[in-house]
Copies of this chain bind each other. A is one copy, B any other.
């Protein structure tokens, strides 16, 4: 008679929604267990600061739900969002005391957190984990470069159109169970106009004008300030000034990415 399989204790990780998309999925089970052991789930309300710009960052982790903004602030108060982190993305800066960027909750968020030093010890013991982190940072760098093109060479209407298209593709990846017809036509902007402006390097007023204008021209329709329909995708792509295929490149659309925050 065969022995019964050992009783399996469900850890928090077994119920983790983003596990299969995050860095956890890319490493061996034994390592997953070690990660699990040093992890702790925390929640923050929208607007809270997770890691401040100057302050020592004592922890890092993975976004489970909600959205983080990674941003830098200038002496006179101007802010630039240098990255948005969606579920499954990694936040925090390994191998550095302070990150030089702030990480804040753009919406209510649930995070899977690790104490930085414990995670770094794990990294130095596991080349496999470090390799996965390396790949994630490489993709993140690709995305950052893509965004530099957007900020340096595109007009504001082009930036808004690009942003919509990237969000649309990214949402398609994140929520593949949504009816495809609805997915095809709708864009949900999960952040405020203020954050959108800080991300696109412009102001809320200009954003608003551009969106209203695209709506008047029949390219999109406005369901609510955060929900839009795409009426003419071809034209939206043309507005973005990009080739369809290069939108979001490897990174923003296809893969979870990582922030040095």
> Residues of A with Cβ closer than 8 Å to B?
70, 72, 74-76, 78-80, 82-83, 93-96, 100-101, 124, 127, 130-131, 133-135, 137-138, 140-142, 144-149, 151-154, 200-201, 241-243, 246, 249-250, 260
Contacts and interface: CB of A to CB of B under 8 A. Distances in A.
A74 B153 contact: yes
Contacts of A100: 142, 145-146, 246, 249-250
A225 B179 CA distance: 60
Contact of A134 (B137, B144, B246): B137
B147 A148 contact: yes
Contacts of A141: 137, 140-141, 144, 260
B75 A241 contact: yes
A144 B147 CA distance: 9
Contact of A72 (B70, B72, B149, B200): B149
Given A95-B135, A151-B152, 20 more contacts: A72-B145, A74-B149, A75-B241, A78-B153, A80-B153, A82-B149, A94-B138, A95-B138, A100-B142, A100-B246, A101-B145, A124-B131, A130-B131, A134-B137, A137-B141, A142-B260, A144-B144, A144-B148, A151-B151, A151-B201
